[in-house]
Amino acid sequence: MLHFLYPTILLVLLPAVAPAQDSLVPLTEREKAVHLLSRLSFAPTELNVNFVLSIGIDAWVQDQLQDREPRRQQLVDHLDKMETLKYSVAESYAYMRGDEKSQAVDAASQRKGERERVRRMQGELMTDILLRSAFSDRQAEEVLANFWRNHFNVTFRKGLQAGLMIPDWERDVIRGLQWTDFSSMLHATAKHPAMLYYLDQHLSRRKLSEKELDRIRQRALNKGGNQARAESEVVRAARGGPNENYARELMELHTLGVDRVYEQKDVVAVAHALTGWTVDRGSRNKPGSFEFQFDARRHQRGEKLLFDQPMPEPDPATPSQGEWILDELAQHPATAHYLASKMVSYLVQDNPPSQMVADVAAAFEQSNGSLTELVSAVVSHPDFYDPQHFRAKVKTPWEYVVSSLRATDAEVERPLQLFRALALMGQPLYGCDVPTGWSDRADAWLDPGAMAFRWEFAAQIADGKLKGVKIPAAFYNRCLRNSRPQEWADQLALHVIPGGIGEVTQQALQKVLQDYLSGKKAKRSGPVVADVAPQLLALLLGSPEFQRQ
């Protein structure tokens, strides 16, 4: 349906269309509300725009930048039914194991049951994130949770263990700390099993000495092994050592930024200082807590330097060196600049203005790393409402799907098809393999092949062909009540894209509407909203204006 119009729309979108506003004309109050809701919510609807205008932009921002539970009772009740969201990591492991062992079932059945329970946990978490993002009135919290979810990236793709750890990570680290300060969040991410496993930090240990390797060799020989087997065990034991994965990403992606301040010798020193940071998995006789554990036996003792400065307390083996590193990195001026640059890029435009970044970084430092102030400094900056930033960003697949649900008041009974759509568009939830997390830049997503999946999604959700998702008749009734059939396209556009549409989209809408109104069915029985509104909606959801924010 309507595919003949999509190539024309693509031609408009791909050249990175300039914002509709003349850069010399200040935004109106309504346009400011649309702009704000495009950045601190997942979709500016006509109702939301009117609400912000009624209470004032500053009042809305102040309310949103607070840690509060969603007010929408239907959403709260739905989320409360998902019990696995409340589990700690240890409780998740217990849930995964189930009753199979006590029932003496075969190993294959046990593994199958474990996989099914982990999939349920993953499904409930993804559903929780999707429903909150689409329907919660606490939109700023959802937008910012998405930012930190990508900044401190972990993924389900690491294996079954990741599926058991990430629900706790999402609840207690991402959501639990996003209104606190950066140092607290950095410490929490560094010690959470999800991150320790994702970047293999839990395996990092000191290099074994020659004496220790000799003991391993002798122990293997005493057990009756031959010389070849003993040497094989020695080689395997010697292969382990400090793992630089987390140390590098800690500085490059989580704090300082790429190629800033640190050198390779700093990566090595941090990796050595963090040896022994692992997870309490317990033993055969004692269940583990599956929380952070410092194993002094695995720690690399001795003096170490960071930025040519000695680290404190080189001995005895304690986690203090690692904790000192986290404090130093959290407070470093380069970290403030890096976080400010990322937040401005996320909330303003892909190429963040240097002065705005400097101002936000300064405000962040002065607030002692307040994450609330990091956001507030962006949206309260005089340049935030500069007309050149209006519609300057392109939605990621996640933002596109969520905004489609939000803009249409969609009812989600089963979200599986939404998750599949996100995977087809290239952005599965908690599915980014690389530590960088998903990009929020336009050039990462403006690919004709990827855009085709968006158009298909628009057609399916508008036609009611996306199983488990429905756009209620009440949505069309609200948008089109008291309007003449000739006004249906304009009224629908006003509610779905309150920032306005361009000439290409306007012409496409009018062609579909006029073709319908001049058709035999409409002339014979009279215009019926259900006969044409889904086609108009599909065009709007697939339009270049709806891809932008």
% of the chain with per-residue pLDDT over 90 = 76
The position carrying tokens 């952005």 is 427
Using pLDDT thresholds of 50, 70 and 90, give the confidence band for residue 333: very high
Higher pLDDT, 549 or 314: 549
Please give the radius of gyration of the chain, using alpha carbons only, rounded to the nearest integer. Answer: 27
16 pLDDT exceeds 60?
Answer: no
State the burial class of residue 430 (Cβ atoms within 10 Å of its Cβ: 0-12, 13-18, 19+).
buried
| Angstrom distance (rounded) from CA 233 to CA 228 | 9
Residue length, the chain? 549
Secondary structure E strands in 448-500: 469-470
19 pLDDT exceeds 70?
Answer: no
Q: Which residues contact 441 (CB under 8 A, 6 or more apart)?
A: 345, 350
Largest CA distance in the chain: 95
Residue 271 and residue 241 in contact, taking contact as beta carbons nearer than 8 Å: no
Its sign, for the CA torsion 127, 128, 132, 135, is positive
- Summary mean pLDDT of the chain: 90
Using pLDDT thresholds of 50, 70 and 90, give the confidence band for residue 15: very low
* b/e burial code for range 252-281 (CB count within 10 A of at least 16 → b): bbbbbbeeebbeeebbbbbbbbbbbbbbbe
Higher pLDDT, 10 or 510: 510
Q: How far apart are the first and last CA of the chain?
A: 25
Q: Which of 57-66, 211-220, 270-279 has the lowest mean pLDDT?
A: 211-220
Alpha-carbon torsion, ordered 256, 257, 263, 264, to 10 deg: 110
Distances (CA, A) of 48 to 6, 229, 304, 476: 29, 70, 54, 17
234 pLDDT exceeds 60?
Answer: no
| Angstrom distance (rounded) from CA 44 to CA 37 | 5
225 pLDDT exceeds 70?
Answer: no
Using pLDDT thresholds of 50, 70 and 90, give the confidence band for residue 286: confident
- The model carries a pTM of 0.92
418 pLDDT exceeds 60?
Answer: yes
Per-residue pLDDT of 244-263, as tens digits, reads 999 999 999 999 998 778 99
Using pLDDT thresholds of 50, 70 and 90, give the confidence band for residue 216: low
Classify 411 as helix, strand or coil: strand
| Angstrom distance (rounded) from CA 213 to CA 234 | 6
Per-residue pLDDT of 104-123, as tens digits, reads 568 888 889 999 999 999 99
Q: Extract the tokens encoding 413.
A: 């009974």
Q: What is the structure's pLDDT at 22?
A: 55
Mean pLDDT of 155-172: 95
- Helices (runs of H) and strands (runs of E) counted in the chain: 29, 6
88 pLDDT exceeds 70?
Answer: yes
Closest Cα to residue 82, out of 93, 95, 71? Answer: 95
The position carrying tokens 């695995």 is 298
Using pLDDT thresholds of 50, 70 and 90, give the confidence band for residue 50: very high
Classify 294 as helix, strand or coil: strand
Which of 9-23, 107-121, 164-178, 300-314 ranks highest by mean pLDDT?
Answer: 164-178
67 pLDDT exceeds 60?
Answer: yes
Using pLDDT thresholds of 50, 70 and 90, give the confidence band for residue 287: confident
Higher pLDDT, 205 or 60: 60
Q: Extract the tokens encoding 81.
A: 């039914």
The position carrying tokens 């997390």 is 437
